[in-house]
Copies of this chain bind each other. A is one copy, B any other.
Amino acid sequence: MALNSSYLINGNLNQSISPFDRGFAYGDGVFRTLVMRKGLPDFWRRQYQKLVADCSAIGIVCPSAELLMSDLQQLFSIEDVAIAKIIITRGEGTRGYTPPAITAPTRVVMKSKMPEYPQQNFSDGVHLCICETRLAMQSKLAGIKHLNRLENVLARMEWQDANLASGIVEGIMLDMQGNVIECTSANIFARYGERLITPSLDLCGIAGITRQHILDIAHTLSLAPAIEEFDLNKLYQADEMIICSSLYGAWQVRSIQNFVNVHQKMWTAGNLAAEVRAALKYD
């Protein structure tokens, strides 16, 4: 048990990580974060498929779904509504970037408390800021939920009042060219009439499973989904904006604070996030 949490490493309780693990040494691995309810992971098929794809993108053979499900069921009780984080690394190595000829991936399943999100995030919406930290553009790693997350860490350190009432809950990250990409821990959608657009993640950002899920079900809301590049000016012209995550589904964005030029964009209340949550069966 660590910090009110517990974990399994390669199926073993309360073991730990060698500093020679390449996940620690180089961030050489990938992860997923998901909600456990009644002993089962939400959206497991999507989560596992993305985990396999992300592993494959950096040349790691993903452990089987059966192994991971066994770990999850060992760690989470039927009563828990809690967060599972799965980390898969390339495994232990010797010093230096060259991977061993034969590597055994390290498989970590961790349990954390469900965050206590304020009810008003769901009912009224949330407030965002613009992060000064930009996302570097790297097509070989874009979209992958890998362990090299220093940009997200630096961006998240830029504001501090996420837990206050009416505090800023997320920060928007732009790429080096000023395109809107994502929030530090969420993807972004903007509605223009019947069009629902989300940024292209071909050069940076993490392609979350909830983003893909929303793209898949948009037509049930009579919306035409599209992946496009857009900048802040275009975003400010949206009829509605939402952010999405597998932890809370979707939240309506009510304002964006730009600390750099002391500009604030505000939206009136909207229903898109609630409709999306209903379509995703989050309500």
Which residues from chain B contact A90 at a C-beta distance below 8 Å?
A: 153
Q: How far is the CA of A146 from the CA of B27 in the complex (A)?
A: 10
Which residues from chain B contact A140 at a C-beta distance below 8 Å?
A: 133-134, 151, 154
Which residues from chain B contact A83 at a C-beta distance below 8 Å?
A: 95
Q: Given A9-B19, A17-B18, A18-B16: A33 and B95 within 8 A (CB)?
A: yes
Q: How far is the CA of A144 from the CA of B23 in the complex (A)?
A: 18
A153 and B94 form a contact (CB under 8 A): no
CB distance from A83 to the nearest CB of B (A): 6
A141 within 8 A of B: yes
Closest chain B residue, CB of each to CB of A31: B25
Q: Mark A111-152, 1 if CB is under 8 A from B, else 0.
A: 010010000000000000000011011101100001111111
A26 and B27 form a contact (CB under 8 A): yes
| Chain A positions 186-207 with a Cβ under 8 Å from a chain B Cβ | 204
Q: Given A2-B92, A16-B17, A58-B154: A97 and B24 within 8 A (CB)?
A: no
Which residues from chain B contact A176 at a C-beta distance below 8 Å?
A: 137-138
Q: How far is the CA of A175 from the CA of B126 in the complex (A)?
A: 38
Most buried by B among A24, A155, A162: A24
**Interface on chain A toward B: helix, strand, loop, or mixed SS?**
loop
Q: Mark A201-217, 1 if CB is under 8 A from B, else 0.
A: 00010000000000000
In the complex this chain forms, how many copies of it are found?
Answer: 2
Closest chain B residue, CB of each to CB of A9: B19
A5 within 8 A of B: yes
B148 and A94 form a contact (CB under 8 A): no
- Interface residue tally for chain A (C-beta within 8 Å): 64
| Chain A positions 30-72 with a Cβ under 8 Å from a chain B Cβ | 31, 33, 58-59
A254 within 8 A of B: no
Which residues from chain B contact A149 at a C-beta distance below 8 Å?
A: 25-28, 97, 148
CB distance from A169 to the nearest CB of B (A): 11
A3 and B94 form a contact (CB under 8 A): yes
A3 and B136 form a contact (CB under 8 A): no
Q: How far is the CA of A136 from the CA of B31 in the complex (A)?
A: 21
A108 within 8 A of B: yes
A17 and B26 form a contact (CB under 8 A): no
A150 touches which of B58, B156, B204 (Cβ 8 Å) = B58
A136 touches which of B17, B59, B136, B152 (Cβ 8 Å) = B136
CB distance from A158 to the nearest CB of B (A): 11
B150 and A110 form a contact (CB under 8 A): no
Q: How far is the CA of A17 from the CA of B155 in the complex (A)?
A: 25
The 7 closest A-B pairs by CB, nearest first: A27-B27, A136-B136, A148-B148, A97-B156, A136-B138, A16-B16, A26-B149
Enumerate 15 A-B pairs (CB-CB under 8 Å) in ascending A order.
Answer: A2-B18, A5-B95, A15-B16, A19-B110, A22-B153, A24-B147, A26-B148, A26-B152, A58-B154, A95-B110, A99-B153, A134-B140, A136-B204, A141-B150, A148-B148
